[in-house]
Structure 1
Amino acid sequence: MSVSIIIPTWNEAACLGRTLGVLQSLNPPPREIVLVDGGSSDRTVVIARTWSDRLPLRVIQAPAPGRSVQMNLGAKTARGDILCFLHADTLVPDDFVNVVESTLANPGVAGGGFISLMAGPGATRWGISLHNALKTYYAPLLFRPHLFFTRGLRLLFGDQVMFCRRADFLACGGFDPALPIMEEADLCLKLCRRGHLRQLNRVVQSSDRRVAAWGAFKANAIYLMIGLLWGVGVPAAALKRFYEEVR
């Protein structure tokens, strides 16, 4: 199976170069990297294009901003058998491609993600990282227990580098373009009908920029509130107002 990495971007000039530098060290390399920009006003696209001669990288422009729209466009144009959705501020291990391929070699597994360690220049957010890892299990256990036990549902989020087979992604309709938030959780609900989902015992490192801007207490409270409200059926559009973009 070949791997396509899809990166949705919007004003990611501060971190994109580091992420692409890590992708250059992957062994084996992915088949391709598809960067889908949502209308950045900084140097994101310029930086991406400077890496085009060092990586199997294509840069495309989305017709409208929105992570779901961008990731769906990347999936539509990708040529790999496996789709990996990578945030521009997240760093992956150098054996990333092998880990993803070996996970999906099991036909009973429909998708997976990693443990996200949230860190920044000033701190490693151990408590929030632990909570987010546990949330992958307790959220579906609380709100969709029948799917947790019978379908192996796990709720994976963007900073966990979610991955799945391209065929399964397309068959279940991909990300809902109407969702401004919780689009990965919604995809998990659809993917688990096609096989179990796994949180791997491997770590990726994600930026703590939102926690640094909000403070640890506020960030934990917002993460918990959004998860609980989504679990009881509050529309994602209503939850988005609590989750402003931080760059």
Structure 2
Amino acid sequence: MSSEWFISIIWLTAAIHIMLTWLLAWYRGRQARRKPQDEFPLKQQPLVSILIPAWNERRVLGQTLEALRQSDYPHWEAIIIAGGPDGTCDAARQRCADWPNFTVIEQPPRGKNAALNLGLQYARGEIIVLLDADTIVASDWLRHLVAPLTHGYTAATANYFPLRQTWVSTYLEMEKIAARYIRHNATLQGCGIALRRQAIEAMGGFPEAVTVGVDWDLSQRLRQRNARLCFASQAHARTALPDTLAAFWRNQIRWRRAHLQATLRHLGPEAARHLLFYAVALAFLAAPGLCFHASLWPLAPLFWAWVLLRRLSLAIECAAFDRSCRWLKHSGGLLILVVVDFIAALIALATFRRRVITFQGTRPGDNRGQRL
């Protein structure tokens, strides 16, 4: 068989596989739409302690606290573990001076988990909630977030929405829809995490050696203990997602590095699936160099097309689930961000031992990280 015939057969096989992937994505989205979302009425009202680590968050912390004050849940306290050279701690103390259920503690620059452990010492609740300092919650957010724990779940995570809608944040919303609603993945995220206190104490608190990607690391440690995690779809919160290409680039390098570190810490059945992404990223960017013979050069664009066009299944899933074509309009941006994510993954592979203390991706005008 000539090389031309061989390559033609591969192209045809790849095209058929892409079409089948799209059809399966449409089917998954359609099936998920038909399945009703779980609803959890609040069976009890235990005392809830909300831990808010805030490092260099003076500019955004105020609106987070004001939104939290509107909560319709009756029994809660907030503990703000604040610090940073921008005066976050002093500003938080001044704002919370007349609010009896708010406590402000000064934290040293030792990372998010160290701040959470410090706040845990002051917490009185049997339910512990973790909240990022740049997240604006709805008045019924806490009630919906805590409700699954009154039905036997160990932890629950809130439903986040971007503060600013752009083509970049739309891609992250598509990722959320696919993970939460279609694949029913309840990996915890800092826009709101509710945990049973006894589960935290059974794990020995929050590991302070983990300074970035702490939510994903927490999810893995809970799953290793067969804990039941839940996505609280009605616990709405708006949070600062990357909304520009530059912000996405910085965030993905940081997150991919943290994800890789956590995957290697928690080797198990899921590790191979997580590491596959880095293998695909390496192959995607190295494809031209792998085609040593001139007759094999067409395989590089074939591989690129196969990877990228299969990834369009994300937009198809969301369109089928939401009955809206608006997701398909962002297909071009989706492909750009996939390539950016691949490059970020390779940088993370090359620098995965680097340790950075930061709570979230850098925002314009902020000095948010301290490298050790």
Common fold by TM > 0.5:
yes
More strand by share: 1
Return closer, same or farther for 1:61/1:206 CA change in 2, 3 Å cut-off. Answer: same
Distance 2:245 2:67 in 1: 25
**Alignment counterpart, residue 89 of structure 2, candidates 26, 31, 45:** 45
Say whether residues 1:114 and 2:146 are aligned partners.
no
**Alignment counterpart, residue 170 of structure 2, candidates 102, 106, 126:** 126
Checking the alignment, whether the CA contact within 8 Å between 1:11 and 1:41 is kept in structure 2 is yes
Task: Flag structure 1 segments of 5+ consecutive residues without an equivalent.
Answer: 142-151
Distance 2:55 2:219 in 1: 24
Structure-2 residue corresponding to 1:229: 260
More helix by share: 2
Structure-1 residue corresponding to 2:238: 205
Structure-1 residue corresponding to 2:107: 62
Q: Deviations 1:55-95 (Å, cap 9, x if unpaired)?
A: 51111122443111001111222001111110110011211
Structure-2 residue corresponding to 1:4: 49
Checking the alignment, whether the CA contact within 8 Å between 1:6 and 1:84 is kept in structure 2 is yes
Distance 1:66 1:178 in 2: 9
Return closer, same or farther for 1:76/1:134 CA change in 2, 3 Å cut-off. Answer: farther
Structure-2 residue corresponding to 1:89: 134
Structure-2 residue corresponding to 1:182: 213
Structure-2 residue corresponding to 1:31: 76
Q: Secondary structure at the match of 2:156?
A: strand
The TM-score, its normalising length taken from structure 1, stands at 0.78
Q: Deviations 1:11-47 (Å, cap 9, x if unpaired)?
A: 111111111110111112442100012x311232232
Return closer, same or farther for 1:28/1:51 CA change in 2, 3 Å cut-off. Answer: same
Distance 1:189 1:236 in 2: 18
Q: Secondary structure at the match of 1:35?
A: strand
Return the index of the structure with the highest Cα Rg. Answer: 2
Structure-2 residue corresponding to 1:157: 189
Return closer, same or farther for 1:136/1:170 CA change in 2, 3 Å cut-off. Answer: farther
TM-superposed CA distance for 1:110, in Å, is 0.7
Checking the alignment, whether the CA contact within 8 Å between 2:180 and 2:231 is kept in structure 1 is yes
Q: Secondary structure at the match of 1:105?
A: helix
> Equivalences for 1:13-32 in 2 at 5 Å?
13-32=58-77
TM-superposed CA distance for 1:236, in Å, is 6.5
TM-superposed CA distance for 1:167, in Å, is 1.2
Return closer, same or farther for 1:101/1:215 CA change in 2, 3 Å cut-off. Answer: closer
Runs of 4 or more consecutive aligned structure 1 residues displaced over 4 Å after TM superposition:
121-124, 135-138, 234-237, 239-244
Return closer, same or farther for 1:122/1:51 CA change in 2, 3 Å cut-off. Answer: farther
Q: Which amino acid aligns with 2:211?
A: P
* Aligned residue pairs, count: 230
Q: Secondary structure at the match of 1:48?
A: helix
Q: Deviations 1:130-186 (Å, cap 9, x if unpaired)?
A: 314545699xx9xxxxxxxxxx9742222x311101111111122210012122222
Q: Deviations 1:89-145 (Å, cap 9, x if unpaired)?
A: 0011211232133210112x110101221223878822212314545699xx9xxxx
Checking the alignment, whether the CA contact within 8 Å between 2:168 and 2:244 is kept in structure 1 is no
Distance 1:223 1:63 in 2: 22
Structure-2 residue corresponding to 1:238: 354
